[in-house]
Amino acid sequence: MSEIGDSPIVAANGFISRDLFNVKDKKTNFYMIGSMGLASSIGLGIALKKPRKKIFIFDGDGNILMNLGSLATIGKISPNNLIHLVFDNSIHESTGGQPTGSDVISIEKIARACNYKHVFKVSTKNGIVKILDKIKKHSGLTLILIKIEKGNSIGNRISKTPKNIKDGFIKNL
């Protein structure tokens, strides 16, 4: 997380938001607790209006498959400052581990076809750190597909109210 520092993060609903909240809460995290699929769209909106800041999206395979059209829209506009991380465990872990199908289809190929400039696939912590270091130096729409295993613990629910999450984010962006 130190590679991301204070950069704004939009986190998808379910365990992704909960894990981020428990690991590194900060005012510039937007925890999307409902509206599954839309973290990437929210991130695009921020990125377009804050072109000098790097905006991170913490997405999941289930989330991105629910709103694949967002990859087309993001790629069509191709903001230079958007870093789209997809945590891919091939299941809907938050709802009990049902399969998403991302073990069969290729999210990285879809991203490339949708005009993402840099696409990476990693499966180790070291690998993630290396890529985050590397992209510090270059700009361009980026997707990092992070293959992960199913977790074995569930993070606490987010204790802030939605309005506080939003207002804190706006104030500190």
Partner 1 sequence: MTDNFQDQMFDFLFRKGIENFVGVPDSTLKQFISHGLKSKKIIITTREEEAIGISAGMILAKSPTLVFMQNAGFANSLSTITSLIQLYKFPLIFLIGWRGFKKNDAPEHKKIGQIQPKLLKDIGLQTRIINKNNWKKFSSWAINKMKNGDSCALVIPREFVD
Q: Tell whether residue 40 is a contact of partner 1 (CB under 8 A).
A: yes
Stretch that binds partner 1, among 28-36, 90-98, 113-121, 122-130 (CB under 8 A): 28-36
* Contact mark string toward partner 1, 152..171, x via CB under 8 A: ----------xx-xx--xx-
Stretch that binds partner 1, among 35-43, 90-98, 111-119, 138-146 (CB under 8 A): 35-43
Distances (CA, A) of 14 to 69, 136, 172: 21, 28, 24
Tell me, by CB under 8 A, how many residues bind partner 1.
33
> Shortest CA distance to 166 belongs to which of 10, 61, 54?
10
- The string of DSSP codes covering 71-107 is HHHHHHH--TTEEEEEEE-SEEGGGT-EE-STTTS-H
Q: Tell whether residue 78 is a contact of partner 1 (CB under 8 A).
A: no
Helix (H, G, I), strand (E, B) or coil at 130: helix
Q: Tell whether residue 86 is a contact of partner 1 (CB under 8 A).
A: no
Helix (H, G, I), strand (E, B) or coil at 142: strand
* Contact mark string toward partner 1, 107..126, x via CB under 8 A: --------------------
